[in-house]
Amino acid sequence: AQSVSQHNHHVILSEAASLELGCNYSYGGTVNLFWYVQYPGQHLQLLLKYFSGDPLVKGIKGFEAEFIKSKFSFNLRKPSVQWSDTAEYFCAVDDYKLSFGAGTTVTVRA
Amino acid sequence: DAMVIQNPRYQVTQFGKPVTLSCSQTLNHNVMYWYQQKSSQAPKLLFHYYDKDFNNEADTPDNFQSRRPNTSFCFLDIRSPGLGDAAMYLCATSRGDRGNEKLFFGSGTQLSVL
C-alpha cells in the first residue's frame, strides 16, 4: 500500500519568510500527486496537482511544487508567505486510491 | 455555493448508539468517498461508491456501513460507535476520471462519542 510521509508536523514562520514543506511517497510506479490545504474552519481544497509533464507545478496563491521522481518527493514551496497562509497542508498520492500524509500545520505570524 | 454538504457539522452520540452522517453533492459526480480523520492524523479512506458500486477498504471495520440511495446523497452509518470512533468524518466527491482525480471535500462532521 502507498504511504505518504510529511516531514514536518508544525512549522511556524514570520510573514515574508519562504516556506518549503517536504513530502515523500513510497510507490515506485506512476502516481498522481497533490497538495491539499485546509484553512481554519474550512474544508479541504486542492492547492495544486501533478499528473505528468513539467515536474515544476504552479498552484493557486503563489504556491508551487516540484516532483523529483528519483527521490520520490513532491515538495511544496512558497517564496514569501502571508498571514493568510496559516493552514493545514496535506500531501496526497493517487495510484489506485488517494492516500494522504499526516499533514503539516503552518502558522504564519504577522 | 457549497457543492459538497455534510450534516450535521457536529454530532454527539452515546457509546453503542447507532448514528448516521449524511453527505449531499450538487456536482453530479460519479464517485463519493468517506474519510475518517483523527486528530493530527492523515484522512483515512473508509470506502467509496463509484455510481452504485460500493468499494470497501480492507481495513474498514464492519461497524461502518454506507448507503448511496441516489447520485446526490451518501450516508455513513456507524452501527455501534465506540470511543475510538470519535473523529472528523469527511465526505468527498470526484468525477471518476482516472488521471484527473480532483476531489471536492465537504466541511466534515465532527463526531463525539460519550
Per-residue pLDDT of B43-78, as tens digits, reads 999 999 999 999 998 899 999 999 999 999 999 999
Residue % of chain A over a pLDDT of 90: 68
In tens, the pLDDT along A59-90 reads 999 999 999 999 999 999 999 999 999 999 99
Give B52 to chain A, closest Cα distance, Å: 18
Q: pLDDT at position A52, please? A: 86
What's the CA gap between A47 and A91, in Å, rounded?
10
pLDDT tier for residue A16 given thresholds of 50, 70 and 90: very high
pLDDT tier for residue A104 given thresholds of 50, 70 and 90: very high
Q: pLDDT at position A8, please? A: 87
| Contact across the interface for B102 and A49, Cβ inside 8 Å | yes
Q: Decide if pLDDT at A2 tops 80.
A: no
| Contact across the interface for A49 and B107, Cβ inside 8 Å | no
Residues A72, A66 contacting (CB under 8 angstroms) = no
pLDDT tier for residue B84 given thresholds of 50, 70 and 90: very high
List A residues 30-69 in contact with B (Cβ-Cβ < 8 A). Answer: 32, 36, 42-46, 49, 51
Closest to B13 measured CA to CA, from B106, B68, B92, B89:
B89
CB pairs under 8 A between A and B: 46
A102 reaches B (C-beta below 8 A): yes
Q: pLDDT at position A30, please? A: 76
**Chain B residue with the nearest C-alpha to that of A39:** B107
- Return all residues near B52 (Cβ < 8 A) that are at least 6 apart: B68
pLDDT tier for residue B39 given thresholds of 50, 70 and 90: confident
What's the CA gap between B70 and B88, in Å, rounded?
24
